[in-house]
Amino acid sequence: MKKPKPKPTMWFPRKGSLRYPLAMMIGMSLIHSPQSIALPFANHATAEVIRLDRTVTGKVKDENGEPLVGVTVTIKGNNAIGASTDLNGDFSLIIPENLISNATLVFSYIGYAPVEAALGEQNTFDIALTSASNQLEQVVVVGYSAKKVKYLSSSVSTINNEKLRDVTSNELPNLLQGKAPGVVVSSASGDPTSAGRILIRGAGTISAGTSPLIVVDGNIGGSYNPVDVESITVLKDVAATGLYGSRAANGVIIVNTKMGKAGKTQISFANTMGFAQATTGNFRLMNSQQLYDFQSTFYPREASVLQTNTNWWNEAFRTGFVNNHTISASGGSERTTFYISANYYKEQGTQIENDKTGYNFRANLQSQLTNRLTAKVLFNGTFNKDNYANSNTLYDAYNNLPFDPAYDADGQPIDGRTYPNWLGRDRESFLHSVQYNYSKAQSLNVTTDVNLDYELTDKITLSSYNRINFGNGLSASYNDKRTKQGGANSGELYNGTSYSSRLLTSNRIRYSEDFGKHGLTVLGVAEAETTYSSSTSAAGKGLPPGRDVMSVATDILTNPTGLNEQVGFRKFLGQADYNYDNKYFLVGSFVNEFSSLFGKNNSTANFYQLGASWILSNEEFLKNNKTLTFAKLRASNGTVGNADGISNFASLGLYTISSDASYSGLPGAAPSQKGNPDLTWEKIKSSNVGFDLSFFNRIDLVVDAYVKEASELLYRKPLAATTGYSYVWVNAGSIRNKGIEFSLTSTNIKGKDFNWETNLNMAFNRNKVLELSDGSTVFNSGARQPIAVGHNMDEYNLPIWAGVNPENGDPQWEKVVKDANGNVTKELTSTYNQAQTADSRQFAGKTAAPKFTGGLSNTVTYKNFTVSAFFNFVYGNWVYNESRVYFDNDGLYESYNQMVLAKGWSRWEKPGDVVTHPKPIVGGNKDSNQSSSRYLEDGSYIRLRNVRVGYSLPDNLLGKNGFSRVSVFVSGDNLWTGTKFSGPDPEVTLSQVDLSSGLSSLRYPISKKYLIGINFSF
């Protein structure tokens, strides 16, 4: 019996549906269900089920009706599926069948408030985004996840790429200066090859590192170029930093690089060129006439010296040039996007023979491989070439006499050693040396990330983030035998090589669900990291002139060295994040971490974090309040650790091979470092409370108060020779930092053509040493800044300067006298040795740590014009101006040049003079230039970091030429500094670890930069 053919069915679809008539048109019978259609073919007994995904399209504009490019469109609760708007603001997004029934689209863009739109039956969307006058509506990455700022229980600051571009530099710290409260960036040099130091909420360690942890594109560490940065998020309290465990004590900086946007491929060029000049501030060196007049009272010279008037400062510094050029391409389809960039950066330092050259290439690829699997492959390669500033050049620029000529009759640089009438003490001309000597380095760094996100279910996502990094470095330093530096050893050459590789894998599972008014996200992470590094170095002497090759050296200058190291970290963490009705938020996390850096008895440590917040403005009593439009309270508490900056072998017993341990001509080794199997992480316990307020949707205020106490401080403790060791690493003592910080953003004027925005941030931090190990009350006794219980760790301890005796012009210091009963009195003395005893050295009540720091910016736009100005400021810190030992020495070095006295200073000339400077005497006036509070100066300053004027061509002119965007600008960096400091630049390093906090010594000053740029896209 024949099987009957299925009868065709007639069905009238609901309005707007096309899929059913399509099925009928191709001659298929149809069985309908809400989620699928079954298409039974002739001669088949089974039905094939076809997924019915849905495509939605639309356009996104700003409040003025202008299309927005690069707006991210995602499905709420599922960031793995998304799209971006193209140059016309259009987007297209495929929504998987299983998400259609309750999908909500989320439209987000940096600087704008996100918008949510329920999918329903709608297939096209017209969305208008309004500018977020604050950062509360922005989405930021915080500890392995992304959240709106308004829903955070932690203290964070976000800086987008527009705010980073106002200062020209290839180093991130220089771009961050003054941009976020509590983030202090300081630099000891204007050398373009050196980067500033970043300090977040004060230093809390003695010997370990103070640098924050850098996280790039979701993984710890990594390389990047500032031109590729989309945004930077600074995490400051434990609720934000805690998931990074043992390396989060100094804060975390999250760097997100640019990704491609779906749509037409966009090619962009960014070009900046300009020149730089060294700043001199209030500092001036004497010319020949001034020096001749000054020395005439105590060291008269022949008038013939006035025939020469060399400005050695001008010989040492030049007009430097800056070039920064980037080409990038981005685009892609709805499922696959790309971003590719290449950058060339060249900055010629203002000091001669000093420059930095960098080449960078980045390729970021993102692809939605299936409806559930998304992959990212990120590649970054950087090659740098640095020619370092010569320290002798700086020394001579400050100290060489103007009486000595720079060039001979033929215009050739003079060698001071052979010039018969050279008057300067060191008989050195850097102009002669830099012809032959150099110090340089080059490095190659390559990083590749492979990141996978798999949506196991609608509620569970599995992720695997993986990184491999390779680095190579070469360094060389050469002193030719024809120069003073190389003459003693008949030429010197140093060569060094280094190699490093780093592997990291971070595997994550996330569960997220909303049930009623409740929301819960649970995160689990297992992470492992291994770093391998090796280096070799050698130094030789006895090289023929100009032959800077190690193989021609006739002898060893220092023994060759080599090092191989391997360090490992392993981490497990869990986090639960709960909210009720978007009003009450609670987050808790726990981290267990292992590190090979520490002793076998303490190689693992546990850390916890708790955070809570309450959005008051979502309560009925504040809802729809037209004045206070947003209000949130936050609090957090927890622990993190510090493993940064210590030796990779800190817990082990070490031997040193040296000549002191040799026997009968045979090499030997002697104990140097005592092992400590109990060595462990520094522990930092931190508490933070804060609030976020928004008034009239135009004024935003964020305030935080914190207490951060570090205990079990890592310290490299010197040991007595009788122990047989030189030192041991121990956990010693505790330090507390506490402070308040705030940021204020105000949209002063907001109109169709004219807008004005102001940003102000300030931070106040106080620091105190609470205890030290073994009952000690002071570490580094005798240092200018010892670590002492009860004192700020940056407080100066030194002989106290008491001015000048008006009767005879002698220097005076305070001498502390103790009688038999222990009573203390202070007397004046003109004998320095009486003032520098252990009893007489005193804490000056002045510290290198500022009382507050901050930044102020104003941005004004009128139609297509933009004008911005940015200031940063530091107040209440004291700088030890060590350089004055040389050029403000009261006659000690008559063969050195001298500085012109700063405003308000005066020199003793006759009895009764009340002055700042002693009588100058040949050989010095009773050690008046020795270390004392005399050379402590107010280091407060305010600096105009950047002024920028830009213009963007209007759209009606762009289309005719095929461009989508053209803008030009002129800008200036570091154009003005207001300060009382007598040196060229008041900015100094603000970090205690190397005991150079607040020190200014023969400083390479920061540069003023004058720049012009053009950016265009098509």
Distance CA 654, CA 675 (A): 7
Confidence at residue 307, expressed as pLDDT on a 0 to 100 scale = 96
Give pLDDT tens digits for 61-96. Answer: 877 677 887 788 988 877 667 788 877 788 988 888
Same CATH topology for 54-128 and 139-264: the answer is no
Q: Name the β-bridge partners of 855.
A: 761, 872
CA 633 to chain centre: 28
What value does the mean pLDDT take over residues 951-967? Answer: 81
Give Cα 260 to chain centroid, integer Å. Answer: 25
The tally of CA atoms less than 13 A away on the side-chain side of residue 919 is: 16
Q: Is it the case that residue 39 has pLDDT exceeding 50?
A: no
The answer to whether 793 and 734 have CB atoms below 8 angstroms apart is no
* Cα three-residue angle 981-983-984, rounded to 5 degrees: 115
pLDDT band of residue 32 (cuts 50, 70, 90) is very low
How long, in residues, is the chain? 1018
Q: Is 962 left (phi over 0), alpha (psi -120 to 50) or beta?
A: left
Phi, psi of 935 (to 5 degrees): -95, 10
pLDDT given at position 20: 38
Is the pLDDT confidence value at 617 over 80?
yes
> Residue 448 is encoded by which pair of tokens?
């590749």
Give the mean pLDDT of 598-627: 91
- Domain 139-264: give its CATH architecture: Beta Complex (2.170)
pLDDT at 613 (0 to 100): 95
Q: Could you tell me the strand order of the sheet in which 936-938 lies?
A: 936-938, 878-881, 999-1000
Which ranges constitute the DSSP H helices of 215-287? Answer: 238-241
Q: Tell me the CA end-to-end span of the chain in Å, nearest whole number.
A: 70
Give residue 37's pLDDT.
39
Alpha carbon distance 152, 239 (integer Å): 9
Looking at residue 10, its amino acid is: M
Binning pLDDT at 50, 70 and 90, where does residue 26 land?
very low
The CA-CA-CA angle for residues 447, 449, 455, to 5°, reads 170
Q: 986 is written with which tokens?
A: 């008041």
Q: How confident is the model at residue 721 (pLDDT cuts 50, 70, 90)?
A: confident
Output the pLDDT for position 18.
41
What CA–CA distance (Å, rounded) separates 855 from 845? 26
* Percent of the chain predicted with pLDDT > 70: 93
Lowest mean pLDDT among 131-135, 229-233, 415-419: 131-135
The confidence score (pLDDT) of residue 145 equals 79
Please work out, in degrees rounded to the nearest 5, the angle formed at the alpha carbon of residue 177 by the alpha carbons of 171 and 180: 125
The per-residue pLDDT for range 510-563, each reduced to its tens digit, is 999 998 899 999 999 999 999 999 999 999 999 999 999 998 888 888 778 888
Assess whether pLDDT exceeds 70 at residue 994.
no
For the residues 879-892, what does the mean pLDDT come to? 94
Give the pLDDT band of residue 836 (cuts 50, 70, 90). very high
pLDDT score at 31: 34
Please compute the mean of the pLDDT values over residues 8-20 and round it to a whole number.
40
pLDDT in the model for residue 137: 66
Sketch the domain layout of the chain as residue ranges. Answer: 54-128, 139-264
Residues 696-714 have pLDDT tens digits of 989 999 999 999 999 998 8
Q: Partners of 197 in the beta sheet?
A: 186
Enter the pTM of the model. Answer: 0.84
Percent of the chain with pLDDT over 90: 59
The enclosing H or E element of 958 equals helix 955-958
Is the pLDDT score of 166 beyond 90?
no
The bridge status of strand 865-875 relative to strand 852-862 is antiparallel
Confidence of residue 222 (pLDDT cuts 50, 70, 90): confident
pLDDT recorded at residue 23: 37
Strand order in the sheet with 124-129: 90-95, 54-62, 124-129
Band of pLDDT at residue 780, cut at 50, 70 and 90 = confident
Least confident of 105-114, 119-128, 809-818, 1001-1010: 105-114
Q: How far apart are CA 130 and CA 704, in angstroms?
A: 27
pLDDT band at residue 149, thresholds of 50, 70 and 90?
A: confident
- Tens-digit pLDDT profile for residues 724-775: 898 999 998 899 999 999 999 999 998 888 999 999 999 999 999 999 887 7
Residue 760 and residue 746: Cα distance in Å, rounded?
9
Question: pLDDT tens for residues 650-667?
Answer: 899 988 877 677 777 777
> Is 821 buried (19+), middle (13-18) or exposed (0-12) by CB count in 10 A?
exposed
Provide the H-helix boundaries in 146-276: 161-164, 172-176, 238-241
Q: How confident is the model at residue 918 (pLDDT cuts 50, 70, 90)?
A: very high
Contact 361, 403 (CB under 8 A): no
CATH class of segment(s) 54-128: mainly beta
Query: How much is the mean pLDDT over the chain?
Result: 88
Place of tokens 């040389």: 886
Residues 6 or more apart whose Cβ sits within 8 Å of residue 90: 57, 58, 59, 67, 263
Residue-level pLDDT at 136 = 64
User: Looking at per-residue confidence, does 42 or 183 come out higher?
Assistant: 183
pLDDT score recorded for residue 41: 39
**pLDDT for 17 beyond 60:** no
The answer on pLDDT for 959 being more than 80 is no
Residue 42 tokens read as 């002739």
